Amino acid sequence: MDQNKIGKFIAACRKEQGMTQANLAEKLGISDRAVSKWETGKSMPDSGIMLELCGLLQINVNELLSGERIMAEFYDKRAEENLLEMRREVEEKNRLLLRTEYLIGGPATVAGLLLCFVASYVDMPAGWRIGLIVFALIMILAVAFMAVGIEQKAGYYECQKCHDRHVPTYWQTNLAMHIGRTRYMKCPRCGCWSWQKKVLTKEDQL
C-alpha cells in the first residue's frame, strides 16, 4: 500500500469536512501527532479505529486503503485488491518476525555453549568457572524465552483436527512440546490436542 498516497487522501478528506488535525484527533481520542504521522505517510491508522475514522471522513475502508475515491463499478475489484495487499503485508511482517527469532536465538545459543565449553576446559578459579557457566545458562534461557515470545506473536497455529487458526497465550506456547515451530497444543475451538503447525496468515490466500 502507498502510505504517502493514503496520507494525502486522509488530509484532503479531513479538510473537506472542515476539521483540523487536532479536531480529528480529539474525536478519535488520539493525539494530533498520530494524525500528522498518517498524513505524512509515516504510519497507518490502527485497524481498531479505521471504521470510526472513515465515518468521520465520510469514506469507506476500501477508499481509505486505496488512497482515493472509488467509483461503484470498481468497488468489488478494489476491495479484493486491498484485501490481498493487506494479507501480503501481514504475511511479510510475520515472516520477518520469524527470521528475527532465528537471528536472535541462534547466535546467542552458540555463544552460550562456547562459554560453557571455555568454563569446562580452560584452567581458571572455581568461582570464575561457576560464574561463567551460570551466566551462559541464564543468557541461553533469556534468549529462549524471548524467541518463543516472537514466535507466539508472528502468525498463527493451525489445529490439525478442525484447521482453526489461532494465537495461543505465551505460556501455552512456551510450555508446549515442540519440534521446531510445530507445537503439541489444545485447540480452543474443537478442544482436541494435535501437533499444530505455524502458519503466517489467518486464512488461506485467495
Quote the pLDDT of residue 70.
Answer: 81
What is the pLDDT averaged over residues 174-199? 93
Residue 206 has pLDDT above 50, yes or no: no
Average pLDDT over residues 116-131: 91
Average pLDDT over residues 156-178: 92
Tens-place pLDDT, residues 72-117: 666 676 776 777 677 777 778 888 888 888 888 889 989 999 999 9
pLDDT tens for each residue of 26-81? 999 898 999 999 999 988 888 778 889 999 999 888 888 888 888 766 667 677 67
Cβ-proximal residues to 59 (8 Å cutoff; 6+ apart), any chain: 13, 69
Integer Cα distance of 9 and 61 in angstroms: 12
Quickly tell me which residue has 501437533 as its cell. 195
Do residues 144 and 88 touch, judged by C-beta distance below 8 A?
no
pLDDT of residue 50: 86
The 10s digit of each residue's pLDDT in 152-165 is 988 899 999 998 88
192 grid coordinates = 482436541
Do 162 and 192 contact (CB within 8 A), yes or no?
Answer: yes
State residue 205's pLDDT score: 42
Predicted confidence at residue 101, as pLDDT, reads 86
Q: How many CB atoms lie within 10 A of CB 7?
A: 21
Statement: the pTM of the whole predicted model exceeds 0.85: no
Average pLDDT, the chain: 88
> If 0-12 CB within 10 Å is exposed, 13-18 middle and 19+ buried, where does residue 92 land?
exposed
Pick the residue with more confidence: 69 or 138? Answer: 138
Alpha-carbon span 36 to 34, nearest angstrom: 5
Q: In whole angstroms, what is the distance from residue 8 CA to residue 169 CA?
A: 38
